[in-house]
Amino acid sequence: MMVLPQDIKQYIESGLVCQYVDVSGDGQHFEATIVSALFEGKSRVAQHQLVYRALGDRMREEIHALSMRTLTPAQWAEVEVR
């Protein structure tokens, strides 16, 4: 069964409190923008680890390539203004 972008979005949202999640992809390669207050004060690596933790074993079994853009709500607000 092929994983769809909306599946990955649901996986992330069910495992991580997010203000915004958008996932696109072709079934093999996915790109996600994730906004969460939980990212505040954390390094980019720590932010990505939170997302990987939310995805769990799916990262090994179902999702083979996921690039992420993780932002705090304040960072997202700056991006949205531009």
Task: Please report the DSSP string for 42-57 in residue order.
Answer: --HHHHHHHHHHHHTT
The model's confidence at residue 19, banded by pLDDT at 50, 70 and 90, is very high
Q: Is the pLDDT of residue 82 over 70?
A: no
Condensed to tens digits (0 to 9), the pLDDT of residues 59-71 reads 888 898 999 999 9
**Predicted model pTM:** 0.92
- What contacts 11, CB < 8 A, 6 or more positions away? 54, 55, 58
Alpha-carbon gap, residue 59 to 40, rounded angstroms: 24
The residue ranking higher by pLDDT, 1 or 78, is: 78
Q: What would the mean pLDDT of 50-62 be, rounded to a whole number?
A: 92
Alpha-carbon gap, residue 42 to 72, rounded angstroms: 10
Please report the pLDDT score of residue 60 as a whole number: 84
Helix (H, G, I), strand (E, B) or coil at 26: coil
